[in-house]
């Protein structure tokens, strides 16, 4: 069985960055949550938090020595970034030496939750990446000194853990892009269309003051939610990309077709909607930013699930 080693950047006595949130505290929380989520998905995980080191040099060596003492297929170090105090979103990035594709996928997964994408960055000057003996990445989740990042992290931290855990799959490319068997068949292979943004200006059916813009990750489903609206993870099997989005609107085509509750396929797949209009078969609408994140150009097929 694949085993992954994940460590908290810095340690109990060698602290990291501190701003609106504390790097070590949040990294420690994420490592613990990742352990739970990854083990749910059938992989095994070893985690580490350095409680003894008192200098940076000792801390780095302690972390790397722990990783290299384990039998595993990959190494992950969790950090939070810092630059200068700001209210602007700063974003997420993943650092690597040799693992470009993995780093890109990780950066995209966190950006898919709503963080500004900074992408994958090659760094050849980091002790952790240079001295671990298995494929390694270092994740900079977001910036502790950005109030926008910190607020988003506080509200989306569980979604970040789930999105990262979803990436932990066997190296077989076909298995990497398949979805867990828990997604009902009637929510797989759903035709998705793109709506909202500058080319399709409208306001949310749930909040008339909220414009369907080009930048946020949101969807529409063809029934109105009367209570709290759950978040939705959308997955494109063709590209292997996933993202978490909010429900902002009702549609496409119908406004009373909760096919996910009824165990049926979207009614619009029949070719006409409930009012007799000819349809394109879509059972979910994607915002322009979400479609771009998933690699959907105009129309596509996706799987989706509530999270």
With a CB cutoff of 8 Å and minimum separation 6, the contacts of 99 are 135, 136, 137
176 has a pLDDT exceeding 50 = no
Helix (H, G, I), strand (E, B) or coil at 225: coil
* CA–centroid distance for 305 within its chain: 13
pLDDT tens-digit readout, 135-148: 999 999 999 999 99
Strand pairing category for 218-221 and 241-250: parallel
Q: State mean pLDDT over 4-27.
A: 96
Say if CB 193 and CB 252 are below 8 A apart: yes
Superfamily of structural domain 181-306: RlpA-like domain (2.40.40.10)
**Looking at residue 86, what DSSP letter applies?**
B
The reported pLDDT for the residue numbered 293 is 86
Please report, for the chain, the start and end positions of each structural domain, with discontinuous segments joined by +: 3-168, 181-306
Lowest mean pLDDT among 39-43, 102-106, 186-190, 259-263: 39-43
Structure tokens belonging to residue 114: 């709503």
The reported pLDDT for the residue numbered 2 is 63
Q: State mean pLDDT over 227-251.
A: 88
173 has a pLDDT exceeding 50 = no
Phi, psi of 107 (to 5 degrees): -60, -40
Q: What is the mean pLDDT of the chain?
A: 91
* The architecture CATH gives domain 3-168: 3-Layer(aba) Sandwich (3.40)
């Amino acid at each position: 069985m694949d085993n992954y080693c994940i460590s908290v950047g810095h340690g109990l006595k060698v602290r990291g960055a501190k701003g609106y949130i504390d790097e070590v505290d949040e990294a420690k929380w994420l490592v613990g949550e990742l352990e739970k989520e990854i083990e749910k998905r059938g992989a095994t995980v070893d985690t580490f938090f350095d409680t003894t080191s008192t200098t940076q040099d000792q801390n780095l060596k302690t972390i790397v020595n722990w990783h290299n003492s384990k039998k595993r297929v990959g190494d992950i170090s969790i950090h939070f970034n810092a630059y200068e105090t700001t209210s602007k979103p700063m974003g997420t990035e993943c650092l690597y030496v040799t693992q470009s594709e993995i780093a890109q996928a990780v950066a995209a997964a966190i950006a898919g939750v709503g963080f500004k994408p900074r992408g994958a960055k090659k760094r050849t000057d980091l002790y952790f990446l240079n001295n671990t003996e298995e494929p390694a990445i270092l994740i900079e989740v977001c910036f502790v000194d950005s109030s926008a990042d910190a607020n988003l992290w506080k509200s989306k931290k569980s979604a970040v853990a789930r999105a990262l855990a979803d990436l932990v799959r066997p190296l077989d490319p076909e298995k990497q892009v398949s979805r867990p068997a828990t997604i009902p068949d009637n929510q797989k292979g759903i035709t998705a269309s793109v709506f909202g943004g500058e080319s399709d200006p409208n306001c949310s059916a749930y909040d008339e003051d909220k414009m369907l813009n080009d930048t946020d990750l949101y969807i529409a489903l063809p029934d109105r939610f009367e209570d709290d609206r759950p978040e939705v993870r959308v997955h494109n099997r063709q590209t292997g990309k996933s993202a978490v989005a909010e429900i902002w609107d009702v549609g496409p085509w119908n406004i009373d077709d909760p096919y996910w509750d009824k165990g049926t396929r979207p009614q619009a797949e029949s070719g006409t909607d409930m009012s007799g209009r000819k349809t394109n078969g879509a059972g979910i609408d994607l915002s322009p930013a979400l479609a771009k994140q998933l690699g959907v150009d105009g129309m596509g097929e996706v799987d989706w699930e509530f999270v």
